[in-house]
Amino acid sequence: MSKKHHKLEAINLDAFYGDFHALKGINIAMEEKNVTAFIGPSGCGKSTFLRTFNRMNDYIDGFRTEGDILLDGRDIYAKDVRVDELRKEVGMVFQKPNPFPKSIFENVVYGLKIQGIKKKAVLEEATEKSLRRAALWDEVKDKLDKSALALSGGQQQRLCIARALAISPSVLLMDEPASALDPLSTAKIEELIYELKSDYTIVIVTHNMQQAGRVSDNTAFFYMGELVEYAKTKTMFTSPQDNRTQNYITGRFG
Amino acid sequence: MPHIDVELDKLKTRLLEMWDLVEYQLQSGREAMLNADQELAKQIIKRDRKVNQFDVKIDRMCENFFALFTPVAVDLRMVLAVLKINANLERIGDTAEGIARFAKKLEAPVSQDLLELTMLLPMYEEAMAMFADCRVAFKNNDPVLAKSLLKRDKTLDKIYRKSDGIVTKFMVDNPDKISEALAILSIIKKLERVGDQVTNIAEEVIFYREAKVVKHKLGRKKKKD
């Protein structure tokens, strides 16, 4: 697309769940510090594709890929790649907020502790930084030792984002991060995505067309395992080239 | 039909109704002018209020559609086009009203000589025909027909460009008919504007159907030459 660095790239990617051909010959390149939205009907393969970027599909029986997924030009399915190292680079946020049943503080530093970091000062600094980045600090700074489960849904989701940011990834994958939230919390998440893109490459799966329009720079439309169209979000929502895209975004599918 | 299509259909129907009304106004304007029919002229002036009501109503319908359906792609272009077509139709309605105001002051039918010299009637015919064809282009989603209108506008421009000289000469020869000649000149100017407005509408039809912006393209070409 432009001269910008390609942070994530898929080359002739096919993915299978056993006999089911879930992704068919996907070719896409995503620029660094950009937000890319994946849209498409349920079962079109967009979440499967999102999860290949941090190898979340590895645990699924019968799942296999062909072709390449590159992070900073490096094949993440290569034999010498350690998945735990990969996930330090590529953080993920899910549809439903899923904090651990622990304190807010413990949630944020969970990844760091696993990495063996024990110094309290380091952990505290990382907590404040991550919570600030996730626009949650002011709301929780006085109750870091309280259970994360006592937070509202929107706060929990921002906590999950803070948890993902704490291990300083460069890529954030978001699988419908606001679909379980009310409009206000959704707006906060969207605002957050907008702010985070100055430092992170973000890929977001969403079923909300307006959300894709508001937060993303580029949009990819998937249908039945194929990448039908990939273009600037502005172009996708004003003059899409493929009829299937047009039918989908205008709500006239099938 | 999906709900969104029902709403778009309503919008389109309303715009076509307005189109019919404005066409009727233009036609009546010509009759009133040719026959010095002051009664008809008064009716036209009164009816312009109805055109304005359409304008307001369609604007409001578009606003609601944006708010409630947040349209994208072809739907978005359709509503944007309807908004602009609406504005142009309203202006053409004003033109008909302006012609009627001139007709209202006429005591006798306009002189035949002047009509023939200026080619006002063929110009009027062509403007009306373009207006009607443009309606067909919009109704049938026909960008090819819309494109053909862009060229036809030149006929009107040609008559308009010549009118200055013709009317000046006429006034020199017929000093008793100066006010009539000036009025005819202003009607020619108005009809030339109708041609432009029909062209604007045709451009919107092309934009809405093909996602292509064609306006201001002709001017750019000319500058290069």
Q: Does A241 touch chain B (CB under 8 A)?
A: no
Chain A window 150-209: which residues touch B at a Cβ cutoff of 8 Å?
A: 209
Residue of A nearest to B77 (CA): A238
Which pTM does this prediction carry? Answer: 0.84
**Helix B178-210 vs helix B73-105: angle between axes, to the nearest 10 degrees?**
170
Smallest Cα–Cα separation from A192: which of A167, A168, A166, A214? A214
CATH number, domain B3-224, options 3.40.50.300, 3.10.129.10, 1.20.58.220, 3.40.50.2000: 1.20.58.220
Is A246 close to B73, i.e. CB distance below 8 A?
yes
Separation in Å, CA of A210 to nearest CA in chain B:
8
Token digits of residue A87:
């996930």
Amino acid residing at B93: G
Q: Does B71 touch chain A (CB under 8 A)?
A: yes
All structural domains of chain A: 6-98+167-249 (3.40.50.300)
Which residue reads 């995503």 in tokens?
A: A30
Q: pLDDT tens for residues A192-249?
A: 999 999 999 999 999 999 999 999 999 999 999 999 999 999 999 999 999 999 999 9
Q: What is the pLDDT confidence band of residue B223, given thresholds at 50, 70 and 90?
A: very low
The count of other CB atoms within 10 Å of the CB of residue B51 is 21
Residue of B nearest to A239 (CA): B73
Token digits of residue A225:
């395992």
Separation in Å, CA of B60 to nearest CA in chain A:
22
Smallest Cα–Cα separation from B53: which of B65, B42, B61, B43? B61
Q: Check pLDDT > 50 for residue A82.
A: yes
Separation in Å, CA of A240 to nearest CA in chain B:
7
Chain A interface, best mutation among B68, B70, B72, by max A CB count within 10 A: B72
SS3 label, residue A50: helix
Cα radius of gyration rounded to whole Å, chain B:
19
Q: Vertex A184, ends A179 and A187: CA angle to 5°?
A: 70
Which residue reads 């706060």 in tokens?
A: A155
> Which strands, in side-by-side order, build the sheet including A35-39?
A90-93, A171-175, A201-205, A35-39, A218-223, A226-232
Chain B interface, best mutation among A216, A236, A249, by max B CB count within 10 A: A249
- Residue B125 is inside which H or E element, if any? helix B120-139
Q: Check pLDDT > 90 for residue A138.
A: yes
Q: How far is A216 from A204, CA to CA, in rounded Å?
A: 8
Contacts of A209 in chain B (CB under 8 A): 70, 72
Interface pTM (ipTM) of the complex? 0.73
Contact between B105 and B33 (Cβ < 8 Å) = no
Give bridge partners of residue A223 from the DSSP assignment.
A226
